[in-house]
Structure 1
Amino acid sequence: MKQAIEFLHQKADYLNVGPRKKQPHSSYILVHQGLVLIRLGKLELPICKDQGFWLPSGCLSSVTVLQGSVVSTFDFSVRSSVVLPNCAGYVMPSMLIQGATQQLKQTTRESWDSPHGRLRRCVRDYLATVTPNDKYDAKTMLLAQEIASLETPRNKKRQKDNNNLETTGFSEEQIALQLNIRDCVKKLKSGQKLTKIALQASMPEQELMLLIERTAGAI
């Protein structure tokens, strides 16, 4: 990191499949639109519109940002003199965070001594006072189960009623497609041959590669 606190606001033009790794810094992820999936251990949690999630430094996790999602991220260096939460969990965006994010995404000024820098420090100081919620409520767990069911092979039974998926802004088909592409991307990155992956997906190689490029970009 070049600065003690970095801010990034972006729309995901492509599906972003993050690796499973330990956080080199603490991060607060705020979803404005779409869906972000965060895997902690065996559990993968959905972060939907107007939800935020805290990942402390050293936390073993992977982050998937679905294509078309709009996300703001605050990254905090381990050099920070402020004590930040050391457990992962949901942190709902306060009016302070929402207001700061609105201002920060409208300017490119990165000076630490500018209003831009002071806003970032205000967000850091606020997050130092919160306790991330690692006790996921029933609705969140149900949504996570519904999303996981979309990865179930077609010859297995899926849940028929996925009403909670409406909170993501994506249709069931859109999420299922991106999850399938994510699986293909992971296999490609692990060294599997496209021929084998296309056979498993019951698709011609050229058609599958085109679909991957359209969804996840160049691999």
Structure 2
Amino acid sequence: MHHAIEFHSHHATTLCFGKRQRQPQGQLLRIAAGMALLRLGEQELLLTEGDGCWLPADCLAAFTPLRDCRWQQVLISRRLMQPAVSGWLESTPLLDALLEQLASWQEEKSWQGPYGDRLRVLADELMRQPLQMQGRLHPLQQEWQQLLRGEAPLEASEQLAQLALQWRLLRADRLLKGGQKMDGVLRQLGYRDELQWQQDLQWWQRE
């Protein structure tokens, strides 16, 4: 049964190729562990552990969880008051506590009981928090911006290496679905041959 406010926990055991789509409800995406990419307009945003991003109802976006990403999703019906624009949401102790409680909830998930009470408090807390135009700036985020510009970092952390390999697969998927020839895509993205691309794809999509 669908309620005005819903909470879901997710885990991507493999790299998942997100498609651009519209959600009929407003939604909060919060990364509990790992990394994800969010394609919003012309921007390709990197979300890491602790990051939260709000998307209003009918916002066209593509959410791509990278391998072993764990995230929480809060869906809020457009019937309820909610932010009308997208943005980064700064975490608060109350927001973190509510999300952690809901993620580990073992009792009955009744809208009329304690579970529903927490959902309503969560929605109220979301409304109180101002949205930010930019996310947290940390070394991996800076390295990601370099990667988007085609710049090679002086040193690649393990996280950046994992991000770069999966980003290359994601770009290949988009280019191929856009009608480009395999040979041209492989050359553009630096794959030695089609076998290397297939091996990389199998590795990151392996359970």
Distance 1:27 1:35 in 2: 18
1:20–1:64 distance in 2 versus 1, CA, 3 Å: same
- Residue 96 of structure 1 and its aligned partner are, at CA, apart by 1.8
Query: Are 1:209 and 2:198 counterparts?
Result: yes
- Residue 152 of structure 1 and its aligned partner are, at CA, apart by 6.2
Query: Are 1:185 and 2:184 counterparts?
Result: no
Instruction: Identify the range of structure 1 (36-45 vs 91-100) with the bigger mean alpha-carbon deviation.
Output: 36-45
Distance 1:48 1:64 in 2: 12
Corresponding residue of 1:110: 109
Q: Which secondary structure does the structure 2 equivalent of 1:128 belong to?
A: helix
| TM-score normalised by L of structure 1 | 0.77
- Residue 101 of structure 1 and its aligned partner are, at CA, apart by 1.5
Q: Which secondary structure does the structure 1 equivalent of 2:131 belong to?
A: coil
2:143/2:160 contact within 8 Å kept: no
Corresponding residue of 1:146: 143
1:45/1:144 contact within 8 Å kept: no
- Residue 99 of structure 1 and its aligned partner are, at CA, apart by 1.2
- Residue 24 of structure 1 and its aligned partner are, at CA, apart by 2.2
Q: Which secondary structure does the structure 1 equivalent of 2:105 belong to?
A: coil
Corresponding residue of 1:158: 152
Within 5 Å, which residues of 2 pair with 1:54-203?
A: 54-78=54-78, 80=79, 82-107=80-105, 109-134=108-133, 136=134, 139=137, 144=141, 146-150=143-147, 157-160=151-154, 170-190=158-178, 197-198=185-186, 201-203=190-192
1:214–1:76 distance in 2 versus 1, CA, 3 Å: farther
Corresponding residue of 1:37: 37
Specify every segment of 5 or more residues in structure 1 that has no aligned partner in the other structure, as ranges.
none
* Backbone CA RMSD of aligned residues: 3.0
1:14/1:215 contact within 8 Å kept: yes
1:113–1:121 distance in 2 versus 1, CA, 3 Å: same
Q: Which secondary structure does the structure 1 equivalent of 2:95 belong to?
A: helix
Instruction: Identify the range of structure 1 (67-76 vs 188-197) with the bigger mean alpha-carbon deviation.
Output: 188-197
State the Cα deviation string for residues 162-197 of structure 1 (Å, max 9, x = none): 6xxx6xxx5221111010111122234445565664
2:109/2:115 contact within 8 Å kept: yes
Specify every segment of 5 or more residues in structure 2 that has no aligned partner in the other structure, as ranges.
none
1:37/1:46 contact within 8 Å kept: yes
- Residue 13 of structure 1 and its aligned partner are, at CA, apart by 0.7
- Residue 161 of structure 1 and its aligned partner are, at CA, apart by 5.6
Distance 1:126 1:137 in 2: 19
Aligned residue-pair number? 205
| TM-score normalised by L of structure 2 | 0.81
